[in-house]
Structure 1
């Protein structure tokens, strides 16, 4: 039996294992706050996890979990961890990474158990365990350091075991990411203290947490991604770097990646009739319509003048075609008011598009093959009348006529004999 298991049992079955009404209230407050936090930041978190295939993926769930450790018995902290990661599985990261979420849940529980053992060893037996003296501050800091160390060590070990090609430097990740985790633990202490004395101030702190989350974490990935100025979609350069990363991730998870390539059928006509600014406005409206129909975590990019691409992690062909049809129907019904070259406005009734779909690894084993398959399907859709969806099929194996082959070899041997 491990030390951590003993810590879990001793903490859960401590002398005051009965849960008080105030602790139930604190549990509900923290559960609601952490869920709202995840919901508001899910787009950021999905992008950040995609970028962290062979390095630790840091997040700010730790602030709610550590606050819970100071306010609740471990028997309530564990359900809070499970709730947070279950919600993440469904709403943030996607169901294709369930085993990763199970592992992350386990690391959080083990880290919380170890930290709870430190709190008990330091004499902080009953909640709330917020620091009220220099000694209790040291105990809480030691518990936070223990939580961080256990979680970090487990994650690094898992990365090195599951990714033989990953280097120790990759597994350790960036120092700045770990500083974010430490800041989250510090915020957890502040939230616990506020919840103890002024519970109605917690929503104010939550606004602060969300602002910090967006301001500290999102810009580094937005800068790396680049956003197309005219459409607000990802740039072609970011898309080109995201595709191989997503394919590698799919290999690790034994999952799939769907790809949609689409061209606007009347884009040249819009530019020629109303001017290029009108074309830009139409593109922007199309981009917004596509993003409204795809799933959270899907990547929509502008890869050419009027060529857009949608990356669909974990999607099978049926899902890819369903999403493509939703987008196609929405664009047919889309009404856009654009500015004309003479300073007036014009209304576009429908901005139809042609679609090419391909799924990795069903029809391709590399990024180039996947893009080529989707492009070929798109070309077929345009040649077949436009405003339709064509799905790439796997290339059939070459069929060799063995009778002809035998005859050929026989003829060759006779000629060689002469």
Structure 2
């Protein structure tokens, strides 16, 4: 859990730091948006790769390496050279924080299998709750740190946090077993990893600033993706088993739900905070405090989700809450009553608290134990694809200033995304079948 929260805290602390960093370097929302996207670009590409390393070499080794990288990046972030430098630091943080979630899921799966247990719903809930808690208090914590120490504190905080993660991994995480076939280790599909990373990076660069003149990037991403598929289908030990993935439609639908949900959640977490600061003129600490209802509701929702049944109902609730909150954005203005603003973010908090636990439970049910790390990495990749799309939508809706008109445009986009999520969730018959299997197993 200590390692798994490093990524969420770095995802959210930056939310209230975008404006002061931009003011320090004379950069607008278009440039500071890269501070968000750099971490998500690195994480989206790195998660399945790190997940593969967890499956091959063990969770403990990967956790130790990841925490060490985060400490180095935390030190580098305290050097205020330029927005470009800080963007690079955020990318390194993304790589270092990739280790936590796939390693945690792999440890849980192996432990549960060794004890002959089913879905460890309570532990999955605690894992999600720890990340959700950090994620939702991140903007508030960031506002306090910036008020007391300035924006470099959001980078410096990684040093003690990653240090604690490093020590806990050394003393508490069981040592990794020796490689099973030391004489004939499984080959790593370097070509598959390279093509996957390149295709995803090109696609994400296009999504960062989509336009007619940059359509060649989209064409290139499709071409590289097609080559990746060809290589993987012929590989003896592929990086991603596409045949297994194509046959496992419940996992594919889980990835889609996670991407759509977090597109809306991250759009609020970053875009709404920017509007509070620039559109309503609130300071960093006040803007962070106004997100407290989102924090409180999300934590309560995650804490109450620790059971393996009722997943479909919770996922439908997520879609309905996101749709309701998105519609409410259309009625927000420069003089809107603060109580309405608090209720609005509470709806997004409900969705945030429920979605990760419900989708994690589905992922755990449907993933083979031997590929849990890779499947978990792809799960996080789907989440951060949503984050990158969210940052693109924010930049396109706001332009150079986060005003109420831009917030209404953002709300319109989120209404469409939330409605699509609701349709996808209701139409998923696999969720009903999984519920029946779980009830039969418990009976």
Fold conserved (TM > 0.5)? Answer: no
Task: Calculate the TM-score normalised by the size of structure 1.
Answer: 0.25
* Structure whose alpha-carbon radius of gyration is higher: 1
